Structure 1
């Protein structure tokens, strides 16, 4: 009699997905669901499991789900020829989830993603960039799965795409890079908003009217070809993770996404058609510019000064300390910064994982 080998870690993750899918992607906020907080549960658990961190996942979930809101019921189906009218409508989020669940039972997940990625990409700032980030964590699980994907994992991709679609917000004035600056040169040169007050939606409204917005977008040197996009994205992620040392105090939580959003795009790139790579770089850079322009302080603290505060941890210790801290943003940033360290060997990136834990309160 043949037996199927169990994968306890995969079972832990699919079990967590199944538990979390009873809840919506946001909680709190006003009566319209605006200005709430994002449900990071699926993304954080994916990091814990993929990294094999020494953390009680079920116990972490027990604490985390107490703050979440249940996913509302569907209202009316989204029809394939009428999806544009539902784009960016937060109240249709349950309908979007149902739509993508159906799509992912009818076609391979990579085909569905390839169709919807270019449609959603102009709205990369959706939900403070959490749409693309949640999709990316689901894709990482799907890429690492052996055999037929678990239905819970496909559901997680459906929920990520649904959140991105329901919270879709395209930024006016978006232009492709056309300058001469490398990522380490272009990121510090991003023009900050004079008025960095209010919710992110209010800041983005002001950003679109700012002459510094298109100028900052253009300043980055364009990729020479689609084949050079992965390396350019890696440089962008490395730069943003390192920049957190000097900028993070300005908005410890929001500025994490200057690194995690382009890293999300980087992880999805291998399953996308090559013709989508250059637009993906443009969108990733736009996400970085939007976050830095609206939240980063005009005068960074010298990074070397921050690094001196922390004894350099090993990469394993950096990840474990993030797990022990327990905050979802600390976990996701540490995951991204350790990847950047693995590419560059720069110990400042490991110091950044400790710095984010010092700036963000433990849950």
Structure 2
């Protein structure tokens, strides 16, 4: 984790901007700079932000305050993003952030699809930094980590504003492993339009036997790690279906996996189920007609992939998928990262 103070500076800089631009596109900067800092690239953070600056919009205007008594009426209303962020900022100032997360995670989890799962992914990045604070002997509640607690508030507020539950899809025959289950996901009939247009067309998904509750929390964590690995590996051969959107089939469940250590264990199995449906839905919406042959990454190291390839490339989705690939560290995960670099336009 960054000890230079650069990440906190970047987060403070970003907290003057909104979570979206053009009313629908996610601000990826908080997630990208956190990934850069985690992997020793703090020196690149502000240069990257300067390149990304024209994609940032001013913080949105307040609408009507969210409170403990009226929050249900505001859930899923993107016009209330500033209200939600203000509400969560106050909560993490008044309460330990883990308590806030434990209360709100089960409320928000059914709406993981909102904002193409970006709010949940942003929360996962924020939690990783706060957990690192705790591991380094900081409580995560003191002034040293204030920008990181505020980042959690922004992520939770964005999620609440974009909260989007969907009707449970019809269950198709199951598969034993996560990889087999993703292979069994049928593509939607009409693959046109953006995420909000395609999501209602996801009406059937296979049952992954490994994701069904009830189960032991440790088993749920193991299965979630299996899903992250399968979705990341799959990108190496299927990412051309949509180079950007299929990244989320891996990064969304990984965000949930990163959050588990901060959650009560009773929430681990429901988190696995939500992560599976989100990953499978993205797969259904953007899967290509056929895979391409697997290309080995050769002898390149994980550090070379992140430092020399992904950071230099600069695309936010490339950085985030490479960040997930490095959590795995195996050959096919690195191949997926290199495939994202090949398919994506660099940030210049």
User: Normalization by structure 1: what TM-score?
Assistant: 0.89
Residue ranges of structure 1 left out of the alignment (5+ in a row): 1-6
* Map of 2:167 onto structure 1: 172
Q: Could you tell me how far apart the structure 2 residues matched to 1:137 and 1:337 are?
A: 15
Tell me, yes or no, if the aligned pair for 2:189 and 2:201 is still in contact at 8 Å: no
1:12 aligns with 2:12: no
| CA contact 2:191–2:286 (8 Å) conserved in 1 | yes
Query: Does 2:234 align with 1:246?
Result: no
> Relative to 1, partners in 2 of residues 1:123 and 1:175: Cα closer, same or farther, differing over 3 Å?
farther
Return closer, same or farther for 1:232/1:8 CA change in 2, 3 Å cut-off.
Answer: closer
Q: Match of 1:150, SS?
A: helix
Kept after mapping to 1: 8 A contact 2:92/2:153: yes
Using the alignment, how far apart are the partners of 1:54 and 1:311 within structure 2?
A: 27
2:88 maps to 1:100:
yes
* 3-state SS in 1 of match to 2:165: coil
How far apart in 2 are the matches of 1:177 and 1:11? Answer: 49
Distance 2:163 2:255 in 1: 17
Aligned to 1:74: 62
Change (3 A) 1:70 1:108: same
3-state SS, counterpart of residue 92 of structure 1: helix
Q: Which residue of 1 aligns with 2:258?
A: 267
Tell me what 2:118 maps to: 130
Aligned equivalent of 1:196: 191
Question: 1:177: how far off?
Answer: 10
Counterparts in 2 of 1:237 and 1:244: CA distance versus 1, 3 Å: same
Which is further off, 226-235 or 95-104? 226-235
How far apart are 1:61 and its partner, in Å?
1.0
Does 2:151 match 1:156?
yes
Closer, same or farther: CA 177–11 of 1 in aligned 2, 3 Å: farther
CA contact (8 A) 2:315 2:346 kept: yes
CA distance in 2, matches of 1:134, 1:116: 15
Counterpart Cα distance in 2 of 1:161 and 1:176: 30
CA distance in structure 1 between the partners assigned to 2:77 and 2:2 by the alignment = 38
Q: How big is each residue's C-alpha offset from its partner over 1:267-309, in whole Å with a ceiling of 9 and x where there is no partner? A: 000111111011000000011111000111132223x2x33xx
Task: Tell me the equivalent position of 1:311.
Answer: 298
Deviation of 1:53 (Å): 2.4
Match of 2:311 among 319, 323, 335: 323
CA distance in 1, matches of 2:47, 2:175: 49
| Distance change (3 Å), C-alpha of 1:8 and 1:294 | closer
Change in Cα spacing, 1:8 to 1:123, as seen in structure 2 (3 Å) is: closer
**Cα distance, 1:116–1:174 mapped onto 2, change above 3 Å:** farther
Q: Which sections of structure 2, spanning at least 5 residues, go unmatched?
A: none
Which of 189, 204, 222 matches 2:212? 222
Offset of 1:178 from its aligned partner? 9.1
Q: CA deviation at 1:56?
A: 2.2
Is residue 179–residue 222 contact of structure 1 (8 Å, CA) maintained in 2? no
Number of residue equivalences? 338
- 1:109 aligned to 2:97? yes
Q: What SS does structure 2 have at the residue aligned with 1:78?
A: coil
CA drift at 1:67:
1.7
Deviation of 1:222 after TM superposition, in Å, equals: 2.9
Alignment of 1:343-362 (within 5 A): 346-362=330-346
After superposition, give the CA deviation of every residue in 1:118-152 in whole Å (9 maximum; x if it has no partner). 00000111111111110011101111114225221
Give the structure-2-normalised TM-score.
Answer: 0.92
Q: 1:9 to 1:66 in 2, by over 3 A?
A: farther
